[in-house]
Amino acid sequence: MKFFVDTADVDAIRELNDLGMVDGVTTNPSLILKSGRDIKEVTKEICDMVEGPVSAECVALDYDGMIAEGRELAKIADNIAIKLPLTWAGLKACKTLTGEGNMVNVTLCFSANQALLAAKAGATFISPFIGRLDDLNIDGMELIGDIRTIYDNYGFETQILAASIRSANHMKEAALIGADVATAPPGVIKGMANHVLTDKGLDAFMADWAKTGQKIV
């Protein structure tokens, strides 16, 4: 499973990228706001740092506006994935922009039917939002499984990009179901390394090592 980092914080991206943990980056208007930087400037910096796809989101709601913004965002770098909402206008724009050779990430997906439409429209990525479904007491992972089954049934090449991931457990479940990509905040990815028994074991080893009175270097 590929790891995308869901942030516009270049320092956090750089730390994970240096460890080989970054296969791509996703941003959205909320993350751009949080960064406090110009969208084109920060997106260009991220694209120069990361080899994989970097999602940059259109904010227009109509087809013509999405096409204009998508083409402008695509000029930033060759690894831009234009991010479009799963609306009828977004699907139309997806068809056009992918037809022009661009990567497109169709976002805000909450049903298998929506994911099927996005695949038919040629989306490079479909982003089902797990956490927001969980907030409504709907199993977000069930949606990932439904999309996986549908895409496998018909050989769709659209990649399932599990989004709105809130925990390390979400990452594990997405991997078990077979999501192609999971995008998560840096803290969630780093949190995957944590386990109470690892900490407990390390404390015991350190205590015993101190008793030996030895040094390795």
Series of mean pLDDT values for 10-residue runs along the chain (217 residues): 96 96 95 93 96 97 98 98 98 98 98 98 98 93 97 98 96 97 96 96 97 95
pLDDT score of 83: 98
Active site residue 83: yes
pLDDT score of 163: 97
pLDDT score of 50: 96
Of 83, 172, 190, 200, which is the active-site residue?
83
Q: What is the pTM of this model?
A: 0.94
Residue type, 202: L
pLDDT score of 214: 95
pLDDT score of 90: 98
pLDDT score of 191: 95
pLDDT score of 40: 95
pLDDT score of 32: 93
